Structure 1
């Protein structure tokens, strides 16, 4: 039952990007995410193809942090920064077995700074798209 509920949840999240009034989504992916095959090469190629379609359609922006960048400020966790029209910004950080919602302005500024620094070292949107296509073909 958990898998079915999880699958439904994933599909519901994916449908958010099909709505014409969706949030703006920028993703910063470590190159390791692209290079580590999960569920086999065919599944990885399909997943990368889906991401490429979303980028091509202008639904999301994806930047890849290349291996050559070395240590970067976002390497130790996953971070989601969220801004709203009618609410203060929040951030959600996640690590092994824990996640935390942050709403303190000073923490949000620090996390935004880390994100900005990491994004400045990432590949451009176009270079990231080229890498996504190359890895999907391989």
Structure 2
């Protein structure tokens, strides 16, 4: 077990968070147990976060910031901490998401991570790999904080109709996920379109992809395989996939019609009369 005095703040963002938490707590003259009582967590949990053995949450960070008068420092650190817990091959993508002014994504059969509910994310991440599922789910959901920024990116999400009908996590999870998609219907910065089965052959048959656009940097194309990610700024490749995305948007239902299809699937397959278990 790591000894608290050996904590190296330069080892990782998680270690730095723990180091700063301990420093603020000791400056306030509080024990771990005392701080835990103030913020309604156990002293043991405070100790685990301080020694980088447990990931902090947004709620924990906000409460401790308020209790110790940090000026919001721990909450600001949290995004960096959670991003550092992503698989190494995906960390660059999270950075692209955080910097992008516009994100265009096409997903053939699954809801994109930026739009997933906790239940859906947990079901996806837990397939064949239940280890550390709580933390991994929290890390995925933390990426969605970019949509809450003062100037969030514009998100265009085209989903294959299969993403609505493939039952991930059970009827209750799917019901909540489809309701989440509908919640963005009036949000001009989050635009969800469905590519219906009846579209037939289309420009995205080769697979899912994301395009990240920036204020001053070149557009980045990102594709993904099993445990690997492939970002590229190659102009010809980006141009080709940008054209593909334009054709996918033309073939997809309008935002209004997409919302209606989501409602139809929600009622037909996941309505309350079909399942009462959330």
TM-score (norm 1): 0.91
Q: Confirm or deny that 1:77 pairs with 2:207.
A: yes
**What 5-or-longer segments of structure 2 have no aligned partner?**
1-130, 269-278
Q: Give distance in 1, aligned partners of 2:180 and 2:242.
A: 27
Q: Which moved more, 1:86-95 or 1:30-39?
A: 86-95
Q: Confirm or deny that 1:120 pairs with 2:239.
A: no
Contact 1:79 1:91 survives alignment (8 Å): yes
Going by fraction, where is strand more abundant, 1 or 2?
Answer: 1
1:89 is aligned to 219
2:195 is aligned to 65
Q: Give distance in 1, aligned partners of 2:205 and 2:132.
A: 30
**What 5-or-longer segments of structure 1 have no aligned partner?**
none
1:51 is aligned to 181
Q: Give distance in 1, aligned partners of 2:246 and 2:137.
A: 32
Contact 1:77 1:95 survives alignment (8 Å): no
Q: Confirm or deny that 1:108 pairs with 2:238.
A: yes
Structure 1 pair 56–77 and aligned structure 2 pair: CA distance change class (3 A): same
Secondary structure of the structure 1 residue equivalent to 2:148: coil
- Total equivalences in the alignment: 138
Deviations 1:86-106 (A, max 9, x none): 211111012455431111111
2:88 is aligned to none
Contact 2:213 2:219 survives alignment (8 Å): yes
RCO comparison, higher one (Cα < 8 Å, 6+): 1
Cα distance, 1:111 vs structure 2: 0.6
1:31 is aligned to 161
TM-score (norm 2): 0.47
Cα distance, 1:45 vs structure 2: 0.8
Secondary structure of the structure 1 residue equivalent to 2:179: helix
Deviant stretches of 4+, over 6 Å = none
Give the number of the structure whose alpha-carbon radius of gyration is greater: 2
Structure 1 pair 59–51 and aligned structure 2 pair: CA distance change class (3 A): farther
Deviations 1:59-78 (A, max 9, x none): 41011111001121112311
CA RMSD of aligned residues (A): 1.6
Q: Confirm or deny that 1:22 pairs with 2:152.
A: yes
Contact 2:222 2:232 survives alignment (8 Å): yes
Cα distance, 1:31 vs structure 2: 0.4
